[in-house]
Amino acid sequence: MNIATWLCYAVGYVFITSGIMKLLVPDMRARFYNLDIPYPETTLFLVAVIEIGCGALIACGMYMKKATIPLLVIMAGAIILDKLPKLLTEGVLSFAFQARLDIVVIILLLLLYRHVPGKTF
* Terminal-residue alpha carbon distance, the chain: 21
pLDDT for res 55: 98
Query: Nearest CA to 70 among 55, 80, 84, 59?
Result: 55
DSSP state of 62: B
For residue 121, pLDDT over 90 is answered with no
Neighbours of 75 (CB within 10 A): 20
18-29 tens-digit pLDDT: 999 999 999 988
Mean pLDDT of 63-74: 97
46-64 tens-digit pLDDT: 999 999 999 999 999 999 9
Mean pLDDT of 61-72: 97
How much of the chain is helix, strand and coil, in % rounded to 5? 85, 0, 15
To the nearest 10°, the Cα dihedral for 38, 41, 46, 48?
130
The whole-chain average pLDDT of the chain stands at: 95
